[in-house]
Amino acid sequence: MKQIFFDAPRTFRGGIHPPDFKKFTEGNPIRMYMDPQEDLVFPMVQHIGAPCKPVVKKGDECLRGQVIGEAQGWVSSPIHSSVSGRVKDVKPMLHPNGSKVMSVIIENDHAYREVDGLHQSHDYRHMSKEEILTVIQEAGVVGMGGAGFPAHVKLSPPAEKVIDSIIVNGAESEPYLSSDFRLLIEEPSKVVEGLKIVLHMFPNAKGYIAIEDNKPTALAVMRNLTVEEERIQVVPLKTKYPQGGEKQLIDAVLGREVPSGGLPADVGCIVHNADTIVAIYRAILEGRPLMRRVITLAGGALSHSVTFKARLGTSIRELIQAAGGLVCPPSKIICGGPMMGTALFSLDVPVTKGTAGLLVFDQKEDHILRENACIRCGKCISACPIHLMPFMLNQFALEMDWDSFEKYHGMDCIECGSCAYICPAKRHLTQTFKAGKRMIQEKRRKAAAEKGGSHA
Ligand code: SF4
Ligand code: SF4
């Protein structure tokens, strides 16, 4: 039976409309960069949860697809080598998140010899949910939109949560980034087939592929491909930031509000980014662990903005060289999008599972202005998609009044950057919220440890 399309684009309340700057990247087909020349660096942290434990040592030979970082517990995800070669070292290296992280460094032998058992296709229609989960878990699939939540954990909600909706997040509302868009139009059947795998795991659920209306090509391609799919609906979304935030996406697609401190499963949903869905497809149908990702390189300091498909571990500096190099010294480097990304001080970082983009700005693009006093205009309140009071939270954070910060729901901040973007005084709102949340989490962790210790 033909599906009925949603025609009017849907959205959520709040949010902002920054210029999307996608014209620099969206028209460029994905370029393959599959023979990296420099050493590959594999940080043992590429997901939310316990860091992996390196299981190779200096001097070891390793194969493509071999586990080099073993998951530590359920909320963790293994890391596989994307090349064959020799382990040059195991030591802390700069991570795209700006910190130093224990990493395995591999010298590529360019032979791309593989471990046994790669390419084993699974007929998921005859597999149980648990069997599919095990394959996804062992393949190291994590959320590739940036958060890095292990996919097998997301796909294992508590038994009492009834999942009726699986949403593929194709919004990609961060300015400049186009990696998901290119994937949607270049590998659409993998997105649809990946969604069907997840729908097989949740037989009572319906699938939604949600795409912002500034990507009409992706909407048309997906509609054509799913026209006969009864369980899959393509949903156009208004172009607005942060439309790709999980809570905002669920609100827009289904009109459901994830409760404060809650998860999508609390309202019957699981959300996966488009590249994560493709990674699930590859794990199940191509027998491949997660060893590559699509990444946008953009910004005025680059000679060309390019979307690459690259092996995990590839040096970003090498990718930039492959794209034509720099035209001027960067005034700002951001890993991720300009709204939620992390500022970096070096291009010597590797491509990781969560690196959707790298922005290398010149002076003109560096919009960061000096912070001024708050003028109580209230614009940050209107922009906040969580309906928080950013200017008050900012005050609490600066005064280190963590009780008030929590009381006014500061921990619900999704760090989307909308308030800071809209603020005429250029208050460093998001930065203070990030720091405040980390401070409170640390306090909670210490309190829990002390409580545990007092029972010992
Ligand atoms: S937008 Fe900026 S200046 Fe306006 S109230 Fe919020 S923090 Fe203050
Ligand atoms: S307070 Fe947090 S959630 Fe609200 S707009 Fe600012 S960064 Fe986004």
- Going by alpha carbons, the residue nearest to atom 3 of ligand 1 is 374
Q: How far apart are the first and last CA of the chain?
A: 62
Q: Please report the sign of the dihedral spanned by the C-alpha atoms of residue 224, residue 227, residue 232, residue 238.
A: positive
Q: By percentage, how much of the chain surpasses pLDDT 90?
A: 64
Query: What are the pLDDT digits (tens) for 247-293?
Result: 999 999 999 999 888 899 999 999 999 999 999 999 999 999 999 99
> How crowded is residue 183: how many other Cβ atoms within 10 Å of its Cβ?
26
pLDDT of 440 higher than 80: yes
212 three-state secondary structure: strand
Ligand 1 mean position, distance from CA 296 (Å):
32
pTM: predicted TM-score of the whole model, two decimal places: 0.84
Per-residue pLDDT band for 6 (boundaries 50, 70, 90) equals low
Listing DSSP states for 117-175 in one string gives: TTT----GGGS-HHHHHHHHHHTT-B-TTTT--BHHHHT---TT----EEEEEE---ST
How is residue 44 written in tokens? 């043992």
- Going by alpha carbons, the residue nearest to atom 7 of ligand 1 is 391
pLDDT of the residue at 368: 47
Phi, psi of 116 (to 5 degrees): -65, 150
pLDDT of 455 higher than 60: no
Per-residue pLDDT band for 353 (boundaries 50, 70, 90) equals very high
What does the DSSP 8-state code read for residue 51? P
Please work out, in degrees rounded to the nearest 5, the angle formed at the alpha carbon of residue 178 by the alpha carbons of 173 and 183.
Answer: 110
By mean pLDDT, which of 307-316, 360-369, 437-446 is the weakest?
Answer: 360-369
- Mean pLDDT along residues 413-434: 87
pLDDT of the residue at 1: 46
Ligand 1 mean position, distance from CA 386 (Å):
16
- Mean pLDDT along residues 311-322: 96
Nearest ligand atom owner, CA of 394: 1
pLDDT of 417 higher than 90: no
> How crowded is residue 195: how many other Cβ atoms within 10 Å of its Cβ?
25
With a 6 A CB cut-off, is 397 part of the ligand 2 pocket?
Answer: no
pLDDT of the residue at 255: 93
- Mean pLDDT along residues 43-49: 93
The CA distance from 421 to 339, in Å, is: 8
The CA distance from 114 to 58, in Å, is: 19
15 three-state secondary structure: coil
Ligand 1 mean position, distance from CA 294 (Å):
36
With a 6 A CB cut-off, is 396 part of the ligand 2 pocket?
Answer: no
The CA distance from 322 to 35, in Å, is: 11
